[in-house]
Structure 1
Amino acid sequence: MAKKILIISSSPRKGGNSDLLCDEFMKGALEAGNDVEKIFLKDKTVHPCTGCSVCSMYGKPCPQKDDAAEIVEKMIAADVIVMATPVYFYTMCGQMKIMIDRCCARYTEISGKEFYFIIAAAENDKAMMERTVDGFRGFLDCLDGAEEKGVVYGIGAWKVGEIKNTPYMREACEMGRRV
Protein backbone atom coordinates (compact mmCIF):
# COMPACT_ATOMS: atom_id res chain seq x y z
CA MET A 1 0.00 0.00 0.00
CA ALA A 2 1.35 3.38 -1.00
CA LYS A 3 2.29 5.77 1.77
CA LYS A 4 1.96 9.54 1.81
CA ILE A 5 5.50 10.85 2.35
CA LEU A 6 6.44 14.42 3.21
CA ILE A 7 10.09 15.43 2.84
CA ILE A 8 11.13 18.63 4.59
CA SER A 9 14.43 19.93 3.24
CA SER A 10 15.95 22.69 5.34
CA SER A 11 19.04 23.25 3.22
CA PRO A 12 19.68 26.94 2.59
CA ARG A 13 20.61 26.05 -0.99
CA LYS A 14 18.84 24.01 -3.64
CA GLY A 15 21.14 21.25 -4.71
CA GLY A 16 23.02 21.44 -1.41
CA ASN A 17 24.27 18.16 0.00
CA SER A 18 21.32 17.45 2.31
CA ASP A 19 18.91 18.54 -0.44
CA LEU A 20 20.52 16.13 -2.92
CA LEU A 21 20.07 13.33 -0.39
CA CYS A 22 16.39 14.30 -0.15
CA ASP A 23 16.07 13.96 -3.91
CA GLU A 24 17.59 10.48 -3.79
CA PHE A 25 15.24 9.43 -0.96
CA MET A 26 12.34 10.79 -3.02
CA LYS A 27 13.51 8.91 -6.11
CA GLY A 28 13.52 5.61 -4.22
CA ALA A 29 10.17 6.30 -2.55
CA LEU A 30 8.55 7.15 -5.89
CA GLU A 31 10.01 4.03 -7.51
CA ALA A 32 8.34 2.03 -4.73
CA GLY A 33 4.98 3.56 -5.66
CA ASN A 34 4.57 6.06 -2.84
CA ASP A 35 3.01 9.53 -2.96
CA VAL A 36 5.85 11.98 -2.21
CA GLU A 37 5.97 15.72 -1.69
CA LYS A 38 9.13 17.68 -0.92
CA ILE A 39 8.98 21.03 0.81
CA PHE A 40 12.03 23.23 0.43
CA LEU A 41 11.88 25.45 3.53
CA LYS A 42 13.92 28.20 1.88
CA ASP A 43 11.00 28.74 -0.51
CA LYS A 44 8.62 29.19 2.42
CA THR A 45 8.17 31.92 5.00
CA VAL A 46 8.32 30.45 8.48
CA HIS A 47 8.75 32.89 11.33
CA PRO A 48 10.08 31.85 14.76
CA CYS A 49 7.57 31.03 17.49
CA THR A 50 6.84 34.19 19.47
CA GLY A 51 5.86 32.37 22.66
CA CYS A 52 2.55 34.25 22.70
CA SER A 53 0.77 31.15 24.13
CA VAL A 54 -2.35 31.68 22.01
CA CYS A 55 -2.11 28.05 20.86
CA SER A 56 -1.36 26.47 24.22
CA MET A 57 -3.39 28.61 26.64
CA TYR A 58 -6.41 29.32 24.48
CA GLY A 59 -6.38 26.41 22.03
CA LYS A 60 -6.54 28.77 19.08
CA PRO A 61 -4.50 28.59 15.88
CA CYS A 62 -1.16 30.35 15.76
CA PRO A 63 -1.84 34.01 14.92
CA GLN A 64 1.21 34.31 12.67
CA LYS A 65 0.39 34.59 8.99
CA ASP A 66 3.09 32.61 7.27
CA ASP A 67 3.58 29.17 5.69
CA ALA A 68 4.06 27.20 8.92
CA ALA A 69 0.38 26.27 9.31
CA GLU A 70 0.30 24.80 5.79
CA ILE A 71 3.44 22.75 6.47
CA VAL A 72 2.13 21.47 9.82
CA GLU A 73 -1.13 20.50 8.10
CA LYS A 74 0.88 18.45 5.60
CA MET A 75 2.81 16.83 8.47
CA ILE A 76 -0.48 15.82 10.09
CA ALA A 77 -1.74 14.34 6.80
CA ALA A 78 1.46 12.39 6.03
CA ASP A 79 2.16 8.78 6.93
CA VAL A 80 5.91 9.32 6.75
CA ILE A 81 7.92 12.47 7.48
CA VAL A 82 11.50 12.90 6.31
CA MET A 83 13.40 15.72 8.00
CA ALA A 84 16.65 16.77 6.37
CA THR A 85 19.25 19.28 7.52
CA PRO A 86 22.78 20.35 6.91
CA VAL A 87 24.81 20.20 10.10
CA TYR A 88 25.97 23.53 11.49
CA PHE A 89 28.18 23.46 14.57
CA TYR A 90 27.10 19.87 15.28
CA THR A 91 23.37 20.49 15.26
CA MET A 92 20.49 21.05 12.86
CA CYS A 93 20.27 24.30 10.97
CA GLY A 94 18.10 27.13 12.27
CA GLN A 95 15.48 26.76 9.52
CA MET A 96 14.64 23.23 10.67
CA LYS A 97 14.59 24.13 14.36
CA ILE A 98 12.25 27.05 13.70
CA MET A 99 9.91 24.72 11.78
CA ILE A 100 9.94 22.20 14.63
CA ASP A 101 9.15 24.97 17.12
CA ARG A 102 6.22 26.09 14.99
CA CYS A 103 4.66 22.63 15.37
CA CYS A 104 3.80 23.66 18.94
CA ALA A 105 0.20 24.63 18.19
CA ARG A 106 -0.71 21.21 16.74
CA TYR A 107 2.03 18.79 17.73
CA THR A 108 -0.47 16.46 19.43
CA GLU A 109 -2.01 15.86 15.99
CA ILE A 110 1.31 14.73 14.50
CA SER A 111 0.80 11.24 15.84
CA GLY A 112 1.46 7.72 14.62
CA LYS A 113 4.04 8.84 12.04
CA GLU A 114 7.15 7.15 10.72
CA PHE A 115 10.19 9.43 10.63
CA TYR A 116 13.43 9.37 8.67
CA PHE A 117 16.28 11.80 9.18
CA ILE A 118 18.81 12.96 6.61
CA ILE A 119 21.86 14.94 7.63
CA ALA A 120 24.82 16.22 5.65
CA ALA A 121 28.02 17.45 7.23
CA ALA A 122 31.63 18.24 6.44
CA GLU A 123 32.64 16.27 9.54
CA ASN A 124 33.88 12.74 8.83
CA ASP A 125 33.07 11.26 12.24
CA LYS A 126 29.58 9.73 12.28
CA ALA A 127 29.58 9.65 16.09
CA MET A 128 29.86 13.45 16.13
CA MET A 129 26.56 13.63 14.22
CA GLU A 130 24.57 12.07 17.06
CA ARG A 131 23.96 15.50 18.60
CA THR A 132 22.12 16.51 15.46
CA VAL A 133 20.05 13.33 15.40
CA ASP A 134 19.34 13.72 19.13
CA GLY A 135 17.71 17.07 18.36
CA PHE A 136 15.30 15.30 16.01
CA ARG A 137 14.72 12.57 18.57
CA GLY A 138 13.79 15.19 21.16
CA PHE A 139 11.03 16.32 18.81
CA LEU A 140 9.83 12.74 18.36
CA ASP A 141 9.77 12.23 22.14
CA CYS A 142 6.94 14.80 22.22
CA LEU A 143 4.83 13.05 19.57
CA ASP A 144 2.48 10.15 20.25
CA GLY A 145 3.37 7.00 18.36
CA ALA A 146 6.29 8.51 16.45
CA GLU A 147 8.67 5.88 15.16
CA GLU A 148 12.20 6.56 13.95
CA LYS A 149 12.76 4.33 10.93
CA GLY A 150 16.16 5.39 9.63
CA VAL A 151 18.95 7.94 9.40
CA VAL A 152 21.20 8.82 6.49
CA TYR A 153 24.47 10.20 7.83
CA GLY A 154 25.86 12.08 4.84
CA ILE A 155 29.28 12.84 6.27
CA GLY A 156 32.45 14.18 4.70
CA ALA A 157 30.75 16.57 2.28
CA TRP A 158 31.56 20.26 2.65
CA LYS A 159 31.29 21.88 -0.78
CA VAL A 160 28.05 21.91 -2.76
CA GLY A 161 27.62 18.61 -4.56
CA GLU A 162 30.40 16.71 -2.78
CA ILE A 163 27.81 14.24 -1.52
CA LYS A 164 27.20 13.04 -5.10
CA ASN A 165 30.25 10.80 -5.13
CA THR A 166 29.52 9.05 -1.85
CA PRO A 167 27.66 5.87 -0.92
CA TYR A 168 25.16 8.00 1.01
CA MET A 169 23.30 8.84 -2.20
CA ARG A 170 22.60 5.15 -2.83
CA GLU A 171 21.76 4.68 0.86
CA ALA A 172 19.18 7.49 0.71
CA CYS A 173 17.60 6.02 -2.44
CA GLU A 174 17.45 2.54 -0.91
CA MET A 175 15.93 3.90 2.30
CA GLY A 176 13.26 5.63 0.21
CA ARG A 177 12.49 2.35 -1.56
CA ARG A 178 12.04 0.52 1.75
CA VAL A 179 9.54 2.98 3.25
Structure 2
Amino acid sequence: MNRRDFLKRSLMATAVGGLLLSGAASSLSEARGAEPDKEKKMKILVLTGSPREHGNSNTLADHFIKGAQEAGHDVFRFDAAQKSVHPCIACNSCGMDGPCVFDDDDFSLVREHIVPADLVAFVTPMYYFGISAQLKAVIDRFYAINGSIHTPKQAVLLMTYANNSRRDESPMLTHYEVLLDYLGWTDAGRIVAPGVWTEGSIRNTPFPEKAHRLGKGLRLQGERSL
Protein backbone atom coordinates (compact mmCIF):
# COMPACT_ATOMS: atom_id res chain seq x y z
CA MET A 1 0.00 0.00 0.00
CA ASN A 2 1.44 3.35 -0.99
CA ARG A 3 1.45 6.39 1.27
CA ARG A 4 -1.51 8.02 -0.50
CA ASP A 5 -3.79 4.98 -0.08
CA PHE A 6 -2.72 4.62 3.55
CA LEU A 7 -3.62 8.23 4.34
CA LYS A 8 -6.96 7.95 2.51
CA ARG A 9 -7.97 4.82 4.45
CA SER A 10 -6.84 6.37 7.74
CA LEU A 11 -8.93 9.47 7.14
CA MET A 12 -11.99 7.38 6.24
CA ALA A 13 -11.58 5.26 9.40
CA THR A 14 -11.25 8.39 11.50
CA ALA A 15 -14.41 9.88 9.97
CA VAL A 16 -16.40 6.67 10.48
CA GLY A 17 -15.14 6.41 14.06
CA GLY A 18 -16.10 10.01 14.66
CA LEU A 19 -19.61 9.38 13.38
CA LEU A 20 -19.96 6.31 15.59
CA LEU A 21 -18.73 8.22 18.60
CA SER A 22 -21.02 11.14 17.75
CA GLY A 23 -23.97 8.77 17.45
CA ALA A 24 -23.11 7.11 20.75
CA ALA A 25 -22.76 10.50 22.42
CA SER A 26 -26.07 11.59 20.94
CA SER A 27 -27.79 8.44 22.18
CA LEU A 28 -26.24 8.92 25.61
CA SER A 29 -27.29 12.55 25.62
CA GLU A 30 -30.84 11.58 24.69
CA ALA A 31 -30.88 8.93 27.40
CA ARG A 32 -29.59 11.43 29.93
CA GLY A 33 -32.10 13.96 28.67
CA ALA A 34 -34.93 11.54 29.35
CA GLU A 35 -33.86 10.90 32.91
CA PRO A 36 -34.31 14.47 34.25
CA ASP A 37 -37.85 14.59 32.81
CA LYS A 38 -38.67 11.48 34.78
CA GLU A 39 -36.99 12.91 37.85
CA LYS A 40 -38.88 16.19 37.52
CA LYS A 41 -42.22 14.41 37.66
CA MET A 42 -43.86 15.23 40.98
CA LYS A 43 -46.45 13.46 43.09
CA ILE A 44 -49.01 16.04 44.16
CA LEU A 45 -51.81 15.69 46.69
CA VAL A 46 -54.59 18.28 46.43
CA LEU A 47 -56.78 18.63 49.54
CA THR A 48 -59.94 20.69 49.04
CA GLY A 49 -62.33 21.85 51.74
CA SER A 50 -65.37 23.35 50.03
CA PRO A 51 -68.72 21.53 50.17
CA ARG A 52 -69.79 23.38 47.01
CA GLU A 53 -68.82 21.26 44.03
CA HIS A 54 -68.47 24.29 41.77
CA GLY A 55 -67.47 26.73 44.49
CA ASN A 56 -64.81 29.37 44.00
CA SER A 57 -62.01 27.52 45.77
CA ASN A 58 -62.83 24.33 43.85
CA THR A 59 -62.54 26.33 40.63
CA LEU A 60 -59.02 27.29 41.69
CA ALA A 61 -58.31 23.61 42.39
CA ASP A 62 -59.54 22.66 38.91
CA HIS A 63 -57.21 25.12 37.21
CA PHE A 64 -54.25 24.30 39.45
CA ILE A 65 -54.63 20.59 38.71
CA LYS A 66 -54.95 21.22 34.98
CA GLY A 67 -51.68 23.15 34.98
CA ALA A 68 -49.87 20.53 37.06
CA GLN A 69 -51.04 17.71 34.78
CA GLU A 70 -50.00 19.66 31.69
CA ALA A 71 -46.53 19.83 33.25
CA GLY A 72 -46.54 16.03 33.53
CA HIS A 73 -47.06 15.71 37.26
CA ASP A 74 -49.13 13.00 38.97
CA VAL A 75 -52.05 14.52 40.88
CA PHE A 76 -54.40 12.93 43.39
CA ARG A 77 -57.35 15.03 44.52
CA PHE A 78 -59.13 14.52 47.83
CA ASP A 79 -62.36 16.50 48.24
CA ALA A 80 -62.80 16.42 52.01
CA ALA A 81 -66.40 17.67 51.91
CA GLN A 82 -67.46 14.77 49.73
CA LYS A 83 -65.60 12.18 51.83
CA SER A 84 -66.03 10.74 55.29
CA VAL A 85 -63.31 11.95 57.67
CA HIS A 86 -63.85 11.52 61.38
CA PRO A 87 -62.45 14.35 63.53
CA CYS A 88 -59.44 13.54 65.68
CA ILE A 89 -60.47 12.80 69.29
CA ALA A 90 -56.98 13.12 70.84
CA CYS A 91 -56.98 9.53 72.13
CA ASN A 92 -53.28 9.19 71.23
CA SER A 93 -53.80 5.57 70.29
CA CYS A 94 -51.72 6.17 67.15
CA GLY A 95 -48.73 7.42 69.11
CA MET A 96 -48.32 10.12 66.46
CA ASP A 97 -47.17 7.59 63.87
CA GLY A 98 -49.36 4.52 63.80
CA PRO A 99 -52.83 3.13 63.09
CA CYS A 100 -55.73 5.46 63.87
CA VAL A 101 -58.68 4.11 65.84
CA PHE A 102 -60.88 5.30 62.98
CA ASP A 103 -59.96 2.83 60.28
CA ASP A 104 -63.28 2.81 58.44
CA ASP A 105 -63.34 6.30 56.94
CA ASP A 106 -61.69 7.89 53.89
CA PHE A 107 -58.62 9.28 55.62
CA SER A 108 -56.79 6.14 54.53
CA LEU A 109 -56.67 7.71 51.04
CA VAL A 110 -54.93 10.77 52.44
CA ARG A 111 -52.49 8.59 54.36
CA GLU A 112 -51.73 6.61 51.19
CA HIS A 113 -50.96 9.65 49.04
CA ILE A 114 -49.49 12.20 51.44
CA VAL A 115 -46.48 10.17 52.56
CA PRO A 116 -44.91 9.84 49.07
CA ALA A 117 -46.14 13.26 47.91
CA ASP A 118 -43.61 15.87 46.82
CA LEU A 119 -46.17 18.64 47.23
CA VAL A 120 -49.45 19.11 49.11
CA ALA A 121 -51.95 21.74 48.00
CA PHE A 122 -54.38 23.13 50.57
CA VAL A 123 -57.50 24.55 48.91
CA THR A 124 -60.18 26.18 51.02
CA PRO A 125 -62.71 28.98 51.30
CA MET A 126 -62.65 31.16 54.37
CA TYR A 127 -65.37 30.04 56.77
CA TYR A 128 -65.84 32.34 59.72
CA PHE A 129 -62.28 33.65 59.38
CA GLY A 130 -60.65 30.23 59.19
CA ILE A 131 -60.08 27.08 57.16
CA SER A 132 -63.25 25.14 56.40
CA ALA A 133 -64.17 22.50 58.98
CA GLN A 134 -63.98 19.78 56.33
CA LEU A 135 -60.34 20.52 55.50
CA LYS A 136 -59.44 21.18 59.13
CA ALA A 137 -60.64 17.68 60.06
CA VAL A 138 -58.18 16.25 57.52
CA ILE A 139 -55.31 18.38 58.83
CA ASP A 140 -56.06 17.36 62.42
CA ARG A 141 -55.76 13.73 61.41
CA PHE A 142 -52.17 14.40 60.29
CA TYR A 143 -51.42 13.66 63.95
CA ALA A 144 -51.63 9.91 63.27
CA ILE A 145 -48.99 10.12 60.51
CA ASN A 146 -46.90 12.84 62.12
CA GLY A 147 -43.70 10.81 62.11
CA SER A 148 -44.09 9.89 58.45
CA ILE A 149 -44.71 13.36 57.01
CA HIS A 150 -41.92 15.28 58.70
CA THR A 151 -39.97 14.96 55.46
CA PRO A 152 -38.99 17.60 52.88
CA LYS A 153 -42.08 18.55 50.89
CA GLN A 154 -43.50 21.60 49.21
CA ALA A 155 -46.94 23.09 49.75
CA VAL A 156 -49.23 25.66 48.19
CA LEU A 157 -52.27 27.47 49.53
CA LEU A 158 -55.28 28.40 47.40
CA MET A 159 -57.89 30.31 49.39
CA THR A 160 -60.96 32.38 48.63
CA TYR A 161 -63.11 34.71 50.70
CA ALA A 162 -65.95 37.16 50.33
CA ASN A 163 -64.63 40.51 51.50
CA ASN A 164 -61.40 42.45 50.93
CA SER A 165 -59.46 42.68 54.18
CA ARG A 166 -55.81 41.80 54.66
CA ARG A 167 -56.50 41.63 58.39
CA ASP A 168 -59.15 38.96 57.84
CA GLU A 169 -56.72 36.91 55.76
CA SER A 170 -54.03 36.85 58.43
CA PRO A 171 -55.35 34.01 60.68
CA MET A 172 -55.45 31.55 57.76
CA LEU A 173 -52.09 32.64 56.41
CA THR A 174 -50.52 32.36 59.85
CA HIS A 175 -51.99 28.88 60.30
CA TYR A 176 -50.53 27.82 56.95
CA GLU A 177 -47.11 29.28 57.76
CA VAL A 178 -46.92 27.70 61.23
CA LEU A 179 -48.06 24.34 59.86
CA LEU A 180 -45.34 24.34 57.21
CA ASP A 181 -42.73 25.47 59.71
CA TYR A 182 -43.67 22.64 62.06
CA LEU A 183 -43.61 19.99 59.32
CA GLY A 184 -40.44 21.33 57.71
CA TRP A 185 -42.20 21.92 54.38
CA THR A 186 -41.45 24.71 51.91
CA ASP A 187 -44.00 27.19 50.60
CA ALA A 188 -44.15 26.93 46.79
CA GLY A 189 -46.82 29.57 46.28
CA ARG A 190 -50.06 31.11 47.48
CA ILE A 191 -53.12 32.42 45.75
CA VAL A 192 -55.44 34.47 47.90
CA ALA A 193 -58.62 35.47 46.07
CA PRO A 194 -60.70 38.13 47.88
CA GLY A 195 -64.05 39.56 46.89
CA VAL A 196 -65.59 36.28 45.67
CA TRP A 197 -68.75 35.40 47.54
CA THR A 198 -71.38 33.91 45.26
CA GLU A 199 -70.66 30.62 43.54
CA GLY A 200 -68.89 31.15 40.23
CA SER A 201 -67.92 34.77 40.83
CA ILE A 202 -64.22 33.87 40.66
CA ARG A 203 -64.55 33.02 36.97
CA ASN A 204 -64.51 36.70 36.06
CA THR A 205 -61.22 37.30 37.87
CA PRO A 206 -57.57 36.59 36.99
CA PHE A 207 -57.23 34.05 39.82
CA PRO A 208 -58.11 30.86 37.89
CA GLU A 209 -55.39 31.63 35.36
CA LYS A 210 -52.96 32.34 38.20
CA ALA A 211 -53.81 28.94 39.69
CA HIS A 212 -53.19 27.31 36.32
CA ARG A 213 -49.80 28.98 35.98
CA LEU A 214 -48.87 28.02 39.53
CA GLY A 215 -49.63 24.36 38.82
CA LYS A 216 -47.83 24.36 35.48
CA GLY A 217 -44.75 26.06 36.88
CA LEU A 218 -44.14 23.66 39.76
CA ARG A 219 -40.63 22.23 40.08
CA LEU A 220 -39.06 19.79 42.49
CA GLN A 221 -37.11 21.43 45.29
CA GLY A 222 -33.71 22.57 44.17
CA GLU A 223 -34.61 22.76 40.47
CA ARG A 224 -34.83 25.97 38.51
CA SER A 225 -37.52 26.79 36.05
CA LEU A 226 -36.16 27.36 32.51
Is this a same-fold pair by TM over 0.5?
yes
Classify 1:13/1:166 alpha carbon distance in 2 versus 1 (closer, same or farther; 3 Å): same
Question: AA paired with 1:26?
Answer: I
Select 2:136's aligned residue among 97, 100, 103: 97
Q: Tell whether 2:183 aligns with 1:176.
A: no
Greater percentage in strand:
1
Q: What secondary structure does 2:173 align onto?
A: helix
| Residues 126 and 153, structure 1, Cα contact 8 Å, conserved in 2 | no
Identity level (%): 35
* Structure 1 partner of 2:47: 8
Q: Which consecutive residues of structure 1, in runs of 5 or more, have no partner in the other structure? A: none
1:38 CA displacement: 1.3
| Residues 76 and 113, structure 2, Cα contact 8 Å, conserved in 1 | no
Q: Which consecutive residues of structure 2, in runs of 5 or more, have no partner in the other structure? A: 1-39, 219-226
Q: How many residues align?
A: 177
RMSD across aligned positions (CA): 1.4
1:70 CA displacement: 2.2
* Structure 1 partner of 2:181: 141
* Structure 2 partner of 1:155: 194
1:134 CA displacement: 1.4
Aligned counterparts of 2:59 and 2:72: Cα–Cα separation in 1: 20
Using the TM superposition, name which of 155-164 and 33-42 deviates more.
33-42
Deviations along 1:101-120, one digit per CA (max 9) or x if unpaired, are: 10101122112110000001
Task: Tell me the TM-score normalized by structure 1.
Answer: 0.93
1:175 CA displacement: 0.5
Deviations along 1:143-167, one digit per CA (max 9) or x if unpaired, are: 1x31011111011100001011111
| Residues 126 and 155, structure 1, Cα contact 8 Å, conserved in 2 | no
Specify which structure has the bigger relative contact order, considering alpha-carbon pairs within 8 angstroms and separated by 6 or more residues: 1
Question: AA paired with 2:156?
Answer: Y
Q: What secondary structure does 1:15 align onto?
A: coil
Select 2:124's aligned residue among 81, 85, 100: 85
| Residues 45 and 67, structure 1, Cα contact 8 Å, conserved in 2 | yes
Q: What secondary structure does 1:116 align onto?
A: strand
* Structure 2 partner of 1:66: 105
Aligned counterparts of 1:56 and 1:138: Cα–Cα separation in 2: 22
